[in-house]
Structure 1
Amino acid sequence: MNDIQAVFDQGAEWMPWLMDSAMSLAIGLIIFFVGKFIAAKISGWCEKRLLKSSVDKAVAGFASSILYALMFAGVVLMALGQIGVETTSFIAILGAAGLAVGLALQGSLSNFASGVLIILLRPFRSGDFVDAGGQMGTVNRIELFHTYLITPDNRVIIVPNSAIMNGAIVNFSRESTRRLDLVVGISYDADIRLAKQIMEEIVEADERILKDPVCVIAVAELADSSVNFNLRPWVASADYWTVRADLLEKIKYAFDERGVGIPYPQMDVHLHKQES
């Protein structure tokens, strides 16, 4: 009987501690989840405000990502402090652990550093069509570790920032104008002057082709089976692909109508009768 009474007495002594611990844990969890929710809302609100202030979409997304990460780290420390974890010692432990993790995650840290460089140097902006990291697409968003590209067929490509900064970046949208580099071949028995005149007429009739710089049309090569012309008009960057397709189509139709032959690969087969 005395043993049972002792157990109840010990339980009574532990009960306040358990209640306090449970209350601290509950408050810590509330701080964590509510703080995380508020951090997400604030970072989203800041991104919207930056976009309304005509800040580039990629910069706004990157800034909001950093803001969310900092706020989330603060929320975690507050929750741990409420539970009873000594945050000062915890921060020191995190610093030591961070060094070890940093060595293990050099690739991720490289992506982060590259993301910062992309934002600072701005080799491209949101909406630019680029060839970066071995991928081509329109820049949609730059985040802490990755850049999101959207391809013309509406695929999303997630490219590590380090892969972008460690390679060549081709920005097709940076300049307002681009030059088309077309090679047009005609057969050797075709009239070179007529072919050149036809291409000049087509270029002159297309209002999307710029007058300055002047379009270059010149014989480039006397190839094995064709006389090759270089056709190099200048167009607005937004018109590049449509003008390219239209020029090739119009040249084909005009050459057919006016008797200018376009060579294609042919194979001659010679049969020899063998006497038995």
Structure 2
Amino acid sequence: MSPEQLSSYANAIINILVDYSPKLISAFIVLFVGLYAIRLINRSIRKIMVKRNLDPTLTKFLADILLWALRILLFVTFISNLGIPTTSFVTILGAMGLAIGLSLQGSLSNFAGGMLIIVFKPFKVGDTIEAQGVVATVLEIQIFVTKMLTGNNQTVFVPNGALSNGTIINYSMQGERRADLTFSVSYDSDIKKAKEVLLDVLHKNPKVLENPAPEVFVKNLSASSVDFAVRPWAKNANYGSVFSETLENCKAALDEAGIAVQPYTIQK
């Protein structure tokens, strides 16, 4: 290559740089200013949501979505200032979004379910719930799954899509819970005495609440026994011990009173 050709190429490159430098400088100014502005906006949005006592999971999720949406918008603006056509780029993004959406239909269902759980709050972290055949304490509400811990220390991950569309029993929401038990005694027994014995057991247990008052009443007259419904109320933290103590103490009290206990069923 001759010196004249080198000089010609160098002059052409210099002219291109001179012509293109304003766009390049303005594009990078937009980029740096935009990144700083996005950081401030994201920080402000997080503070506003925290002040309004929004769920921490929802706060983080919405802030992250806003962050990436602003970053994508800034990137499109940046390449537009460089003089690069953005129409084809936006089309490619749309096609990619459609393809990802079709391939992740199940995940999107779980995502939507997670949003419903976070917004409407049928339960919160620390609640004991029954759903999808599982009774467990909620450890963490994630975007796609809910992490729970069962009574025998097993960690269960339930998809939010199925969880939000199914029946959820929240045992912790009201703070108090009633144990429903059934004691069956012989027809030869004194019914009034049996009722007094069962009520006395409930009133002597300090974990049984006086308000709402515990109940004992004849529930059913079966073929071979008189069935009593025994219903003590307890705080959620004491429910398990009240349930088991009521079984043990009522059986012992009936035996001591000479009242024959027939085979019975327990309704949880």
Q: TM-score, normalised by structure 2?
A: 0.69
Q: Distance in 1 between matches of 2:139 and 2:213?
A: 35
Deviates more, 1:143-152 or 1:187-196: 187-196
Identity of matched residues, %: 39
Q: Distance in 2 between matches of 1:86 and 1:72?
A: 21
Find the partner of 1:64 among 44, 50, 60: 60
Q: Is 1:66–1:144's contact at 8 Å kept on the other side of the alignment?
A: no
Q: CA deviation at 1:67?
A: 4.3
Q: Is 1:124–1:171's contact at 8 Å kept on the other side of the alignment?
A: yes
Q: CA deviation at 1:158?
A: 0.8
Q: Distance in 1 between matches of 2:158 and 2:86?
A: 36
Count of aligned residue pairs for this structure pair? 221
Structure 1 residues without counterparts, runs of 5 or longer: 1-41, 266-276
Structure 2 residues without counterparts, runs of 5 or longer: 1-41
Query: Residue 261 of structure 2: SS of its match in structure 1?
Result: coil
Change in CA separation of 1:257 and 1:75 when aligned onto 2, cut-off 3 Å: same
Change in CA separation of 1:86 and 1:73 when aligned onto 2, cut-off 3 Å: farther
Q: CA deviation at 1:62?
A: 4.4
Letter in 2 for 1:142: I
Paired residue for 1:163? 162
Q: Is 1:182–1:232's contact at 8 Å kept on the other side of the alignment?
A: yes
Confirm or deny that 1:241 pairs with 2:240.
yes
Q: Is 1:65–1:143's contact at 8 Å kept on the other side of the alignment?
A: no
Q: TM-score, normalised by structure 1?
A: 0.67
Q: Distance in 2 between matches of 1:135 and 1:77?
A: 43
1:1-276 to structure 2, matched below 5 A, reads 59-65=55-61, 67-68=63-64, 89-264=88-263
Q: Distance in 2 between matches of 1:129 and 1:55?
A: 22
Q: CA deviation at 1:251?
A: 0.8
Deviates more, 1:230-239 or 1:117-126: 230-239
Q: Distance in 2 between matches of 1:208 and 1:245?
A: 12
Q: Distance in 2 between matches of 1:138 and 1:247?
A: 24
Letter in 2 for 1:173: S
Q: Is 1:176–1:236's contact at 8 Å kept on the other side of the alignment?
A: yes
Deviates more, 1:207-216 or 1:194-203: 207-216
RMSD (CA atoms): 3.5
Change in CA separation of 1:134 and 1:92 when aligned onto 2, cut-off 3 Å: farther
Q: Distance in 2 between matches of 1:239 and 1:263?
A: 27
Q: CA deviation at 1:161?
A: 0.7
Change in CA separation of 1:87 and 1:161 when aligned onto 2, cut-off 3 Å: farther
